[in-house]
Structures are given as structure tokens and as C-alpha cells.
Chains A and B, each alone.
Chain A
Amino acid sequence: MIVFEDVGFSYERGVPVLEGLSLSIHAGECVGLIGANGAGKSTLMQLVLGLLPHNGSLRVDGLEVEKKNLAEVRRRVGYVLQDSDNQMFMPTVLEDMVFGPCNYGMPRAEAEARADEVLAELGLEALRNRYNHKISGGEKRMAAIATILAMRPSVILMDEPSATLDPVNRRTVIRAIGRMEQTRLIASHDLDMILDTCSRVLLLSGGHVVADGPAEAILRDRALLEAHRMELPLCLQRL
């Protein structure tokens, strides 16, 4: 569970990027985070991970996101970066998958067993010993998700998980997100994917959450979306 209470952040003094954010994301919920470029979606995720300082109170599973809790918070929260090249820094997929668990004290053999388990869950066994620089963009995105799942987080944050993927890989990622049981917060401009995967949507604009509700209701509201520089999902535009 993630709880924001009057959370704010600014890169420059007096120019808030996020302001007075108060909301809760419950365990197991899949929440879409939408908004125009510069709305603060990635910043919000980085606040949850403690990569940026914040005002107000921000808690993950009851733990305040602050320096003394960062290791535990980051063990519980997995973050799938927008650019998988930046996520996969070890030579092979397996090495990348055991990196996190080993850092949290898991013996290597156990970490490898867990990596195998996750790869089997996602149907990615063939990627196990592949070199990261030799796999395709879609495979790399799935491998990046696998590295995060190998840490068995209770919360998963994803930044544009479907960006740059072809339709088949995009569908694979959507299926994988749908099968996850963790709390998920997905920032994306791909509103069709958000509609497919999320039950709830947060619309960020001007540093505030301007809409928070069921995905169907918000993503069908043309006036609301257009007022915040967005459009209806493509699948709804045809109706």
C-alpha cells in the first residue's frame, strides 16, 4: 500500500512540480498514472523510491520513505525504467536477475533458483543465459520486468512499459502486467494499455491529481482528457 499525505516536490524553489498530493493506492490495485509531458508522472514515481526528496508524508507498506528506511522501501518497491538499456547493466539476463536478490543477502544458488522460477512464470526461459546487448528491445523489456519480479516486490512501478514495443511485444507486456498480483502503478501515454490493465486511473496535471477514479470513467471522458492535453484512447475514438 502506498499513502501520500500532502506530498510536494520542486526542482527549483517556488516552482512546484507536485503539490499537495494526498491519495492512497491499496494492496493489489493496478493504477494507471496519466498526464501530459512534464505533468510529473516520473517525478512521482521517483518520490516513492526515495530518489528525490519530498515534502509531506509518503509511506510504502507503512514505512515512511526516508533515508533510514530506503533499503527496506526499495526492497519492497520494484521499478521498471522507461529505458531497459539503463536497467540491464550486467552482462547476461541471469546475472541481472540475481543482482538484486544477492544484494539483499540471498545466497547465489537460491537467487538463481528464484530467477529460474520467474523466467518460467513469464515464459522467458530461453533468455536465461543470453547477453543483454544481444537481445531485442521487446525481449529486453520483458527481461527488465523479470529482474524486478525476481526481487519479489510487493509494489511495482512501471514507467512507460509499452513504449517502443511492437504490437506483439506490447501485448506480451500487457498480459504479464495483467497476471501480476502486486500493487502496480503504471505511468504511460499508452491509454489503450492503461484501459486494458488498470482498474483505476490518476490524471496528473499542473502538479495536482485532477482526476482519480475508475479507468473506464476517466478514459471515456473526452472533455476532461482534452482539457489536460490528452486524447481518448484509440479504441474508444472509433466508437
Chain B
Amino acid sequence: MEELAAQDSPVHRLHPLAKLLVAVGYILAVMSFPKYALTGLFAMLLYPLALFQLSGIRVSTCFYKLRVILPLVCAVGVANPFLDRAVALRVGTVAVPGGVISMLTLMLKGVLALMASFLLVATTRMDSLCASLRRLRVPGVLVTLLLLTYRYVGVLVDEVSAMSQAYALRAPGQRGLHISAWGSFLGQLLLRSMDRAQELYSAMLLRGFHDHFHYVAIPPFRRDSAVYMATSAAFIALARGVDLPRLLGGLFVR
């Protein structure tokens, strides 16, 4: 993610605060759609697609990086078709229950929110993001916590990878981790991660760390960032207020 964020593109060059505010506004707007407003949500796809295009980051990269979390997000509404069986729509002779539509709406909301978050982190360095949060007067403790969590995720992933490899090498022909090893695996993972985290923290303390980071200086707010904010806000407001796909569809279908 750091490497993606270090690339250069018109989106990368935008002010981090502008990107942060637009992303938050976008996610709030997406979340505020009613549960059956599936068509309206499709218009919100335009924002991430435009950013993918402008930033030079592939959509496939996004889905690859989010491959672990996406199924969880999509699973959020799976019970809806069973709970809400009232017919909400007929496609030809097929009756579509409201639960199916609300499930799809929830899935799409999750995917859109994840895409927006991904784009924010993939086009903005974490240091700059944290500096922007501090500028928004988010408490320093919370921002430091966010940055350290971001850094420590790497430690955790390293440990999981090393332990999984060691396990796989002594468990030939076995797929994944046998259930009998889950407890000790997780226990060891916790202990090893804590040891490494402690070492890292000591290394930070020894170089004068006092509970807060010195973030990189944020560049001045330029006109392109203002234009980006204004355009994005206008689009988000329009897409949230008007069901654009239905409106466009109405021009062709009675």
C-alpha cells in the first residue's frame, strides 16, 4: 500500500485533507441510502471508477488487496432474503423479494465503502493522512493508535506467514491448518507478535519516541484540490439526491 501511495498521479498530488474529507463524505452518503435504493447506489460507482482511472491504479489491484475482507462484507446481508420475503419487484414473471434487493444494496454499500477507503489509502501516504487527521483536531492518541496499528499489521502478517510456512513444511498434503492446531497456533501467534511489538516499541523509545509521531509536512492547499472537493461534493449530492440510473432509464423505458 505504501508503494501505491508513493506513486505520482493527479489524484496522488491532491491535498490529503481534501481526499480524506471527500472519502468520508462519500462513505456517509453511500451508507445513508435506503435499503431498497439499489438503482440509486449504482450511480455512486462513478466516483471510485473515475478515481481508479485518474490515479492509474487498477480495479483488479483493489479487489486483490481486499480479497480477504470482501467476502465478509458481502456476507453481512445474506439473511435478508429469508427475513424479508415480501415481493418488491417483478422482472418479467419472476418475483423478487425485498430481502434480495436489500441484501444486494447492503453488499454494494460495503463494496463501495471499501473501494473508497482503499483509494484513499492507496493514493495518500499514511503519514499525510495522520497529519490531516491531526489538522482536523482528531486527538493525537487516536491518530498515533491508527498509525501504530497500520505499522503493526505488517508485524502480524510476517508472523502468520512464518508460522504457516513452518506448519505447512511439517504437514505435507494437508490443506490449511488442522483444527486441532488452531489453539496453539493462535496462542503462539499472540505471544510472538507481542514479543516483536515490544521490541519495536523499545526501538522507538530508544530513539526518543514520546507517544506522538512527527508527521511529514502537508503541502499547501492548491486550487486543484479545491476543484476536486467542489466537484466531488456536487456529484455526491446529486447522486444521493436524484436516482440517476432510474432517471436515465426512464428516458428510454416507460
Contacts and interface: CB of A to CB of B under 8 A. Distances in A.
Q: Bin the interface of chain B by size.
A: 20 to 34
Given A108-B216, A133-B154, A103 B199 contact: no
A95 B208 CA distance: 14
Interface of B: 2-3, 125-127, 151, 154, 158, 196, 199-200, 202-210, 214, 216-217
Contacts of A83: 199
Interface string A151-162: 100000000000
Nearest to A151: B207
A103 B210 contact: yes
A147 B207 contact: yes
8 contacts: A51-B206, A79-B206, A86-B196, A89-B203, A99-B204, A99-B207, A99-B214, A133-B154
Contacts of A85: 158
A89 B206 contact: no
B217 A89 contact: no
A131 B203 contact: no
Interface string A39-71: 000000000010100000000000000000001
B207 A131 contact: no
B199 A74 contact: no
Contacts of B158: 85
Given A74-B208, A103-B210, A131-B2, A81 B217 contact: no
Contacts of B214: 99, 102-103, 108
B201 to A, nearest CB: 9
A81 B3 contact: no
Contact of A75 (B126, B203, B208): B208
